[in-house]
Amino acid sequence: MAPVGPDSTGEVSVHRVMGTETEYGIIAPGLPAANPTMLSSQVVNAYAATLREGLGNLAGTRWDYTDEAPLTDARGWLVDRGSAHPSQLTDEPPVLTAEQVALAEGADPQDTAVLMNLVLNNGARLYVDHAHPEYSSPEVTNPLDAVLWDRAGDRVALAAMERIAGTPGFSPVHLYKNNTDNKGVSYGSHENYLVPRSVPFGNLAAALIPFFVSRQVLCGAGRVGIGATHQRPGFQVSQRADFFENEIGLETTVRRPIINTRDEPHAVAEKYRRLHVIIGDANLNEVSNYLKLGTTSLVLSLIERDLCPVPELAEPVHALQDISHDPSLQSTVRLADGRQVTALDLQEMYHGAAAAACAGGADAQTQDVLDRWGTLIEVLRRDPMDAAASIDWVAKLKILQAYRDRDSVGWDNHRLALVDLQYADLRPSKGIYHRLAQRGQVELLVTPAQVERAVAEPPRDTRAYFRGKCIANFPAEVVGASWDSIIFEVPSQNRLQRVQTREPLRGTAQLTERLFQESATAEDFLTRLLSGPEQRVAP
């Protein structure tokens, strides 16, 4: 079936414009005092170096911040810059001081420009966000593609690590796809979903809160330690649960809310909102990631048609943490109407509504998500340990439990904490998830060959195609880019040419592939795009 954009007239399905953002944990064990912003910029620059080798003159692309509006609240107001937490000002490029640059081993700031941002040929963005390297995937139209281009980000991170490790004078950098240092700090793995502006935000929040509180049983990554600062020993389902304090809010770094209200659509604002989901764990397991994205998109589809259950929780933040703290999945949480339900009961309500809405038939991927969702709920009810091939937290817990049995150790044992951390190590030789995958003990949804392709090629069915191909075909002339713009500098024009890409489902291969094929130069391309008959294909 053809991918569809968000609308409230089509069938209930998993298809919509979506994307992921991953902030990787980062250390250089050989440089314990290294500045994390500096290390993160090493990652960006190392990846740029691998690209230059392969593609000639590829330069770092400046991010175009013109349309960023991180302080616009979906509830209808704008936060004053002065009263915002400094970390909320994501529309200002990070600045490295000369001192920080000087900390880079072997880097001579005189002859090397330090890149903080790259827009990749696959339409993704690799950049320094706060104190972490972040990969933001290109826009895709379905959860399986989201898994693929998210995995491509892990491959990009690995290539950067290998490059740094192989560069004389540089200390190896390790990247982890996790969400906490277990000492009080958390960093995000966000999802983005395009939703019609016509859906009232209050409806979204009400139906999504109980869903987000309970979906961790399917897609939590597991964590050793209880409490934001690891106050107590133990194991819990989610990496993120203990870092959330509010139900709804604009913040992403402090007083984190279950529903984030940042209203920065990166698209035609009158038509769309971008639902920015900050509560998820970073997944290594592809089935966990697929269901995280697929079930959420399905639930949004139900909300858009007023078909979604709203099992209002009495205390959502407590429920989030209570569910996370009970890997047996037996504990109950209280609904506003007084009923006591488990996380699986909640998930069953949403699954039941989606299954009913699709009873008349669904496209293949929607049916696949529905089937897997229903089956995993049953498996988790019977014995959560049977879901180790599909769910990160279960796979992690199974290993930890085996260690506890073999070595007779408690949850405060340091090796257990190390297993937790190394589960997320992105190096195939060191990462425990990757060792499980090599042993055939986890289910894979995408092949290594597909991932290699997704590292180099954009999705063909969104504006990411336009972005990726502009970067790939005109590396010298594209001087800036963002989600909804590409900036060209061509010799014949005094001014920069800014091409807006505000419709996520335009700029596709179908609309623009010929234009790219037939344009010999950037100048030619721009002329055709901006004044020629192809004008209508511009995103």
- Cα separation, 62 vs 531, whole angstroms: 26
**Segment contacting another protein (CB under 8 A): 26-34, 72-80, 292-300, 485-493?**
26-34
**Segment contacting another protein (CB under 8 A): 41-49, 332-340, 429-437, 505-513?**
429-437
Instruction: Choose between 354 and 436: whose C-beta lies nearer to another protein.
Output: 436
Site size toward another protein, by CB under 8 A? 44
**187 near another protein, rule: CB under 8 A:** yes
Checking DSSP bridges between strand 340-341 and strand 256-260, what pairing results, if any? Answer: unpaired
Instruction: Choose between 178 and 519: whose C-beta lies nearer to another protein.
Output: 178
**185 near another protein, rule: CB under 8 A:** yes
**Segment contacting another protein (CB under 8 A): 280-288, 415-423, 456-464, 525-533?**
415-423
Q: How far is the CB of 282 from another protein (least distance, A)?
A: 11
Give the closest residue to 272 by CA, choosing from 298, 239, 304: 304
306 tagged catalytic: no
Task: Give me the catalytic one of 129, 154, 242, 281.
Answer: 129
Task: Please list every residue from 260 through 279 that binds another protein, using CB under 8 A.
Answer: 278
- Cα separation, 290 vs 348, whole angstroms: 18
**411 near another protein, rule: CB under 8 A:** no
Q: Which tokens in the block code for residue 147?
A: 């898994």
Concatenating the DSSP letter of every residue in 246-257 gives EEEES-SSSSEE
Contact pick of 67, 105, 162, 181 for another protein (by CB under 8 A): 181
Q: Using CA atoms of 229, 232, 236, 238 in order, give the dihedral in degrees to the nearest 10.
A: -10
**27 near another protein, rule: CB under 8 A:** yes
Q: Which helix (H) or strand (E) holds 233?
A: strand 232-236
Q: Using CA atoms of 171, 175, 180, 185 in order, give the dihedral in degrees to the nearest 10.
A: 40
**415 near another protein, rule: CB under 8 A:** yes
**106 near another protein, rule: CB under 8 A:** no
**Segment contacting another protein (CB under 8 A): 19-27, 42-50, 56-64, 150-158?**
19-27
**421 near another protein, rule: CB under 8 A:** yes
Neighbouring C-beta atoms of residue 536, cutoff 10 Å: 7
Longest dimension (CA), the chain: 73
Residues in a beta bridge with 18: 140, 193
- Cα distances from 399 to residues 224, 270, 420, in angstroms, run 12, 49, 10
Contact pick of 64, 129, 154, 264 for another protein (by CB under 8 A): 129
Sign of the C-alpha dihedral, residues 112, 116, 152, 139? negative
**79 near another protein, rule: CB under 8 A:** no
Contact pick of 1, 7, 8, 29 for another protein (by CB under 8 A): 29
Let me know: does 486 contact 478? Beta carbons within 8 Å.
yes
Q: List contacts with another protein (CB under 8 A).
A: 23, 25-27, 29, 32, 36-37, 87, 129-132, 176, 180-183, 185-188, 190, 252-253, 278, 399, 402-403, 406, 414-415, 417-419, 421-422, 429-430, 432, 435-436, 439, 441
Please give the positions annotated as active site. 129
